[in-house]
Chains A and B, each alone.
Chain A
Amino acid sequence: MSRLRRYLRDNAVPLALLSPAVLVILLVVLLPLLFSLYTSFSNYRLIRPESLWDVVWFRNYVRVLGDGDFWAALGRTVLFLTLVLNLEMLLGLGLALMVNRLTFGQRTMRTIMMFPMMFSPILVGFQFKYMFNDTIGVVNNALQSLGLTSHAIPFLVDRWLAFASIAIAEIWMSTSIFAILILAGLFAMPRDPVEAARVDGCTNWQVFRHITLPFLMPFIYIAMTIRSLDVARAYDIVDVMTGGGPAGRTELLWTLIARTAYDDSRMGQANAMAYVSILLSIFFTWYFFRKLMAARKHLGVF
């Protein structure tokens, strides 16, 4: 007790400065999480409030882990994350390198580049749902006008096309996050090593591969960390575009959880799923954070 008191006294100023942040996160993140941890051990259904006190221990978890739909959704989520993150990284890198080469009009291009970021994810969902519509959608109309296909392509009905359409919407929205972070990295890059390498007769590709890219890696990992955390945003887009359909083939974890919680009103089971998938996000964060630290160490900046 006295040790605690001494700790508080010695660190009064930083603790006081931190307390509002801690307080608000306790209230809005930790408290609800504890609550949902409890409900994941209960048979809680929204339509029967008294079922909140019906504790079933690990039954929800056993049911979730034995559920094929859950594992399929988990697999799809990991696939989706891997695909989207890597493509966004490559496209963002290309975009940043290109904009960095511009000698004039760069600021305007930077603003234009960030245009998709202004769009609310839910709006992006509607926008692409409409564009990929099989009868009236712009994409189909364009393909048919150009004579590339004779019949309408069911973008949001076919299993893999629907998956790809959602990925495209996600990539469209968020590539610029990678691009601006990488661009920030390019601005911060010291000039000397590049010039020294050129004097030594390195080709453009060698300079990029051995000097520019390693320097950009921390920026790339920061973007990866942020984006893997924002995976939950995929909920808005997926929900609007396909609602997890056709026949559950684009069901990602969060659409499955939302459906279980609100449509089937099985809160307990939904929260059990949520806990399993939070572990997944924590794994991704931890993984990219370690990569970030390694990349920073490699560069010797700390």
Chain B
Amino acid sequence: MSRRQKDILIWIGTFLVMLVICMPGLWVVLSAFRPNGEILTKPAVWIPRDLSWDNFRAIFGLGDAVVAIPVGSYFLNSLIISVTSTVVAVVIGMSGGYAFARYRFPGKGAAFLWLMLSRCVPGIALSLPLFIMWSWTGLIDTKLGVIIVYTAINVPFTVWLTEGFFRQVPRDLSEAAQIDGCTPWQAFWKVEFPLAKSGIASAAIFAFLTSWNEYALASQLTRSTDSKTLPVGLMDFTAQFTIDWAGMSAMAVIIIIPALVLTFLVQKHLIAGLTFGGVKG
């Protein structure tokens, strides 16, 4: 077999595997454009006959069939909560990661392990005590309450990733900049930060995806449209025995699109980020 034929075979194989991987997801996306009747019939309608934007119109309350679910405010809540907690977690993580990468201090190893172990605690185990603590302090059902929790959840990971990246940047560079008259802060901001940027980008995307998709904690800490996020809002489509699958699929598409766009934009950084941050640390 020639090299070219081999390449083509691998490509066909990859394509088939990717198709299998994407099928379940694509089925949901397709369902978003079909009426409930067509999705839920038996025997199944494989080729869609009736594609439309009706489900989207319904969940936004624009069409004839109105599903009274405030998707708009859920979306806004999700966006505010995810973006804020990501930014804060990345800043805190960078500061911590820099400390681990650049300074020696007694207790460093223990501190690093302790940080990692704080990720061992599953969300659902935290949800009970956090629920009680937040209701004492009035943080329950506020965006701020969720933002604080998501920030803390993301910090160990952002510290871990940024630490690996700052280690990659040679120490001499910042020292040279300081000899040339930069303050330590300028040296960091102008020399080390740009070089570690791809790691910071990958930390940010992981943090964003975690906050954007989290359900177990948000479902306990949020109550109303003031703070409910999209994954929690998904539950609005379920009644005791029925699920509005068409509406849910439409909302699923709304949840996926921002994540997809963001990941596509930074995925080049992501691979580079994992290479450096992961193993050489």
How many positions in chain B have a CB within 8 Å of any CB in the partner chain?
A: 86
Chain B positions 108 through 128: 1 when the CB is less than 8 Å from some CB of chain A, otherwise 0: 000100011111111111101
* A142 to B264 Cα, complex, angstroms: 32
Is A247 interfacial (CB 8 A cutoff)?
no
Is A58 interfacial (CB 8 A cutoff)?
no
Q: Would B275 and A232 count as touching, CB distance under 8 A?
A: no
Q: Would A29 and B213 count as touching, CB distance under 8 A?
A: no
Is A190 interfacial (CB 8 A cutoff)?
no
Q: What's the least CB distance linking B36 to chain A, in Å?
A: 11
Residues of A contacting B46 with CB < 8 Å? 145
Which of A102, A123, A231 sits near B252, CB closer than 8 Å? A123
* A22 to B111 Cα, complex, angstroms: 9
Is B43 interfacial (CB 8 A cutoff)?
yes
* A155 to B55 Cα, complex, angstroms: 28
> In the complex, which residue of chain A has the Cβ closest to the Cβ of B252?
A123
* A135 to B106 Cα, complex, angstroms: 62
Q: Would B152 and A24 count as touching, CB distance under 8 A?
A: yes
In A61-110, which residues have CB < 8 Å from any B CB?
A: 95, 98-99, 101-103, 105, 107, 109-110
Is B241 interfacial (CB 8 A cutoff)?
no
Chain A positions 4 through 34: 1 when the CB is less than 8 Å from some CB of chain B, otherwise 0: 0001001101110110111011011111110
Is B201 interfacial (CB 8 A cutoff)?
no
| Stretch of A179-187, A194-202, A203-211 contacting B (4+ beta carbons < 8 Å) | A179-187
Given contacts A122-B215, A222-B278, contact A141 B92 (CB under 8 A): no
Q: Would B279 and A218 count as touching, CB distance under 8 A?
A: yes
Chain A positions 146 through 187: 1 when the CB is less than 8 Å from some CB of chain B, otherwise 0: 000000000000000000000000001001100011011101
Q: Would B151 and A14 count as touching, CB distance under 8 A?
A: no
Is A112 interfacial (CB 8 A cutoff)?
yes
Given contacts A222-B278, A282-B117, contact A28 B153 (CB under 8 A): yes
Q: Would A120 and B25 count as touching, CB distance under 8 A?
A: no
Which of A99, A102, A130, A278 sits near B125, CB closer than 8 Å? A278
Q: Would B120 and A278 count as touching, CB distance under 8 A?
A: yes
Given contacts A39-B129, A98-B14, A258-B124, contact A21 B243 (CB under 8 A): no
State the A residues within 8 Å of B (CB): 7, 10-11, 13-15, 17-18, 20-22, 24-25, 27-33, 35-36, 39, 95, 98-99, 101-103, 105, 107, 109-123, 126-128, 130-131, 135-136, 138, 141-142, 144-145, 172, 175-176, 180-181, 183-185, 187-188, 218-219, 222, 229, 231-232, 235-236, 254, 257-258, 261, 267, 270-271, 274, 277-278, 281-282, 285, 289, 296, 301
State the B residues within 8 Å of A (CB): 7, 10-11, 13-14, 17-18, 21-22, 24-25, 27-28, 40-44, 46, 91-93, 95-96, 98-100, 102-103, 105-106, 111, 115-126, 128-130, 132-133, 148-149, 151-153, 155-156, 159, 209, 212-216, 230-231, 234-235, 243, 245, 248, 252, 255-256, 259-260, 263-264, 267-268, 270-271, 274-275, 278-280
